[in-house]
Homo-oligomer: A and B are copies of this chain.
Amino acid sequence: MKRIRISELLESKEFGKEVTIMGWVKTIRRSKNVSFIALNDGSCLKNMQIVADAEKIPADVTERIHTGAALKVVGELVESQGKGQINEIQAGNIDVLGEADPDHFPIQPKRHSLEFLRENAHLRFRTNLFGAITRVRHHMIFAIHKFFNDRGFYNIHSPIVTGSDAEGAGEMFQVTTLDLQNPPKTEDGEIDFSKDFFGKATNLTVSGQLEAELAALAMSQVYTFGPTFRAENSNTSRHLAEFWMIEPEVAFADIVDNMDLAEDMLKYLVQYALDNCKEDLEFLQQRLANEDKQKPENERSMPLIEKLNFVLENNFERITYTDAINILKNSKPNKKKKFNYVIEEWGADIQSEHERYLVEKHFKKPVIITDYPKNIKAFYMKQNDDDKTVAAMDVLFPQIGEIIGGSQREENYDKLMKRIKEMNIPEETMWWFLDTRKYGTVPHAGFGLGFERLMLFVTGMTNIRDVIPFPRFPKSAEF
């Protein structure tokens, strides 16, 4: 079935040429002698205008055409008289491949709430908004692979089902084939996981980092890009139970190399979006501006493309946690107790409101905070000589706060072991991780980028459920 994609045809000036396009009707305007149909095939935001003269296209065909119907159109490419379009198609023949009953098709040409579209996630790809988001999402996926491939990194598929909860990054989902109604029990009355599929209790992964470390300590430069899971009952616009994460891991790298890599990667991705998704970003910018009109002026966002350039044009400010706390402690909103969490002393958690203050008000740049107190960070992070902090880093962006978290890893076996014991990590499930510190250990570092956080930033959307095709959250696993 040969067709030409609308994205390839829109700029064409081969007037007089016969073309075949297929797609779905966005709108149809009818009059006695002629109907105008806007057809979209997902290849780009713009529609192709089809002119259906009553002389050529019989009324019994045009009567069947409504928003959402699928058409095959054969016709002549002609110069358009309309504004903002080069060409249109004078239809010679229209096949209605599939109708869409206007009384029932949910995606009518009017404003739908994001909530309504989420409930119709199977059809929301047909809207301008989700078409744009889907294209941007694809380009960001490809850009991530290209960035790492061009630099000699290897993509590693870390396992999804794991037998360890080493990272302790959050609540986990259990994976089992046991009969829940009547599970096998041990003599002590406990669930007998030795009878489960994997011969032990297993969960969905919360991070591929530990496995990425194994690979990096042989291949030097690797990255994962896969789904990760949190069984936390957070019904917020910032959390998903299932989300995608990118985790590079680099041998022979310290925290400074790690910061350089994170900054390079984010700038590359933003530049790629500007270069490859211009039309969709302009549409998303307009959407954001419209949404912001409802808000008080001080809560409005920077225009989307300005915000993307803000990342490109600024060197990320690099400061230590200790310096950040001092800045925050002495800041106006802290003194006036405008923060929900007033910063009182060293050791405090830096909350989202503080991150945004540092980025948007204080530095007016993206910020990387390093050297956090060891007590608020994971066991595997490299311990600094001060015995108080670890070589952790968080990259903070406007609007969304933390976009990346990472660290140099503790490569010293004895120090790592001490920390594992202090933090009661089940040592016996970690033998393979510890082995890498026994045999040819080297300094290494890595970080995690939540893909949907990046998508929020690049698209200007504000609810994370709107930047993944089929969101998973408490009480919702539809589609």
Interface residues, chain A, with chain B CB atoms under 8 Å away: 1, 3, 5, 7, 22-25, 41-43, 68-70, 72, 97-101, 104-105, 107, 121-123, 125-126, 130-131, 134-135, 137-138, 141-142, 145-146, 149, 152, 154-163, 171, 173-178, 180-181, 183, 190-191, 197-200, 202, 204, 211, 214-215, 217-221, 226-227, 229, 231, 233, 241-242, 244, 251-254, 257, 411, 432-433, 435-443, 468-470, 472, 474-479
Contacts and interface: CB of A to CB of B under 8 A. Distances in A.
B440 A68 contact: yes
A218 B100 CA distance: 13
B432 A122 contact: yes
A247 to B, nearest CB: 14
A276 to B, nearest CB: 10
A441 B123 CA distance: 12
Given A135-B154, A137-B154, 5 more contacts: A42-B220, A105-B439, A125-B217, A145-B145, A211-B479
29 contacts: A42-B218, A43-B220, A70-B440, A100-B438, A100-B440, A107-B439, A122-B433, A122-B435, A123-B435, A123-B436, A126-B218, A135-B154, A137-B155, A138-B154, A142-B155, A145-B145, A159-B242, A160-B160, A173-B175, A173-B197, A181-B190, A197-B231, A197-B241, A198-B241, A198-B476, A199-B475, A199-B476, A202-B477, A215-B469
A477 B198 contact: yes
Nearest to A8: B152
Contacts of A3: 252
B163 A478 contact: yes
Interface centre among A24, A173, A229, A244 (most CB of B within 10 A): A173
Contact of A174 (B152, B175, B233, B440): B175
Interface centre among A134, A197, A474 (most CB of B within 10 A): A197
Contact of A439 (B68, B135, B137, B432): B68
A122 B333 CA distance: 49
A427 B211 CA distance: 40
Contacts of A477: 159, 161-163, 198-200, 202
Given A181-B190, A198-B474, A435-B123, A442 B22 contact: yes
A93 B183 CA distance: 61
B175 A204 contact: yes
A465 to B, nearest CB: 12
B442 A97 contact: yes
Nearest to A189: B181
A105 to B, nearest CB: 5
B123 A439 contact: yes
Given A227-B226, A442-B98, A470 B220 contact: no
Nearest to A138: B154
Contacts of A198: 241, 472, 474-477
Contacts of A175: 173-175, 204
Contacts of A7: 152
Nearest to A218: B125
